[in-house]
């Protein structure tokens, strides 16, 4: 069979396994939308709790905030896919994205992204001016500072990208209380510091794909040993941050410290494990559970 025939057969097989709905979810990176929704809701919930704002009297604010923040994340991810459509086919984890396969035309992707961002920002501005401005900052930092500038140029791209990922809890809080205090910025710092070890773990697992695509991720440029050291430093930096949220009580501090100790222990184990990729996978899974448990825990502690 000729190479062109083989390529055609592979493409047909890939297309047959997907649907328009799955393509849409891949386009907006539904996993990122959901994870950001958790941190946005936590910021919003804590603002309601600490300002003694009535829950049922704020249902419109809650709905506008959650929908608005989800739309700007989905729109930003769509534009990220639009920008990366030339390198996504090179990487196994991204090669089946609709922008890489051509199932959704680039012009349509751009229109979807801009439309979602515009609608999402309108919703956020309907809550407070501060929430809307923070939404703009989040979009700009992800689309411009990360996707268009640092991702393909600088090894610090992961740190730059962490800015946008840490904005959602600020948006959630600001939608209720525009006068941002120490607590929402503590939430920002926790999510910001959490992201480098999380994404470095992904980069270690996919190091050869990033190398082939020319993306200067830390493991590609500095190697695994250096990456492990950076991950350890970021995880240690998480330890004092929960104490900025001491008003959540002792149970929260115990939960957060336990999670931090567990992640630190796993990080140290990485210096003894021979299989770096297996260790990186464990770190990746732990990081996902870490953020979910920590932020859901904040809600449950204040709810109960």
* Contacting residues for 128 by C-beta, under 8 A, at least 6 apart: 174, 175, 178
**28 in any annotated domain:** yes
Residue pair 276/204 in contact by the 8 Å Cβ criterion: yes
The CA-based angle 72-78-83, given to 5 degrees, is 125
**185 in any annotated domain:** yes
Mean pLDDT per block of 10 residues along the chain (304 residues) reads: 36 53 93 96 97 91 98 97 94 89 94 98 98 98 97 96 97 96 96 97 96 96 96 98 97 98 96 93 97 97 90
| Distance between CA atoms of residues 219 and 203, nearest Å | 7
| Distance between CA atoms of residues 57 and 154, nearest Å | 46
Give me the pLDDT at residue 6, please. Answer: 31
- Count of domains forming the chain: 1
| Distance between CA atoms of residues 3 and 91, nearest Å | 20
**9 in any annotated domain:** no
The CA-based angle 264-267-271, given to 5 degrees, is 135
**256 in any annotated domain:** yes
| Distance between CA atoms of residues 44 and 181, nearest Å | 13
The number of CA neighbours under 13 Å toward the Cβ of 11 is: 12
| Distance between CA atoms of residues 84 and 81, nearest Å | 5
Whether the pTM exceeds 0.75: the reply is: yes
Burial class for 264, CB neighbours closer than 10 Å (0-12, 13-18, 19+): middle
Structure-token pair, residue 115? 């439309």
**13 in any annotated domain:** no
Give me the pLDDT at residue 93, please. Answer: 85
Residue pair 208/222 in contact by the 8 Å Cβ criterion: no
Which residue range forms the structural domain that includes residue 41? 20-303
**1 in any annotated domain:** no
**12 in any annotated domain:** no
| Distance between CA atoms of residues 49 and 28, nearest Å | 31
**14 in any annotated domain:** no
Give me the pLDDT at residue 19, please. Answer: 87
Specify the residue for token string 């990220």. Answer: 80
| Local structure of residue 274 (DSSP, 8 states) | S
| Local structure of residue 63 (DSSP, 8 states) | H
The CATH number assigned to the domain holding 79 equals 1.10.600
Residue pair 165/191 in contact by the 8 Å Cβ criterion: yes
CA distances from 93 to 36, 166, 262 (A): 21, 24, 28
């Amino acid at each position: 069979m000729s190479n062109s025939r083989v390529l055609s057969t592979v493409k047909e097989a890939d297309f047959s396994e997907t649907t328009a709905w799955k393509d849409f979810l891949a386009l907006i990176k539904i996993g990122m939308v959901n994870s950001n929704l958790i941190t946005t809701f936590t910021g919003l919930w804590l603002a309601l709790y600490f300002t003694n704002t009535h829950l049922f009297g704020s249902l419109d604010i809650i709905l506008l905030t959650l929908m608005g923040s989800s739309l700007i994340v989905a729109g930003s991810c769509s534009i990220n896919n639009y920008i990366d459509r030339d390198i996504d086919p090179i990487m196994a984890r991204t090669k089946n994205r609709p922008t890489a396969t051509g199932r959704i035309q680039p012009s349509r992707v751009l229109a979807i992204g801009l439309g979602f961002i515009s609608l999402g920002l309108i919703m956020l501005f309907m809550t407070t001016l501060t929430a809307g401005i923070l939404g703009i900052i989040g979009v700009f930092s992800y689309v411009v500072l990360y996707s268009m500038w640092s991702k393909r140029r600088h090894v610090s791209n992961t740190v730059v990208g962490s800015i946008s990922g840490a904005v959602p809890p600020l948006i959630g809080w600001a939608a209720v209380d525009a006068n941002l205090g120490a607590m929402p910025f503590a939430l920002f710092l926790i999510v910001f510091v959490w992201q480098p070890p999380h994404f470095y773990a992904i980069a270690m697992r996919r190091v050869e794909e990033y190398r082939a695509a020319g993306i200067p991720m830390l493991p590609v440029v500095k190697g695994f040993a250096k990456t492990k050291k950076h991950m350890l430093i970021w995880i240690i930096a998480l330890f004092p941050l929960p104490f900025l949220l001491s008003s959540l009580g002792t149970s929260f501090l115990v939960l957060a410290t336990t999670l931090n100790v567990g992640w630190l222990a796993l990080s140290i184990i990485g210096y003894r494990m021979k299989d770096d990729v297996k260790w990186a996978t464990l770190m990746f899974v732990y990081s996902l559970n870490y953020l979910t448990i920590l932020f859901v825990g904040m809600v449950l502690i204040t709810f109960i």
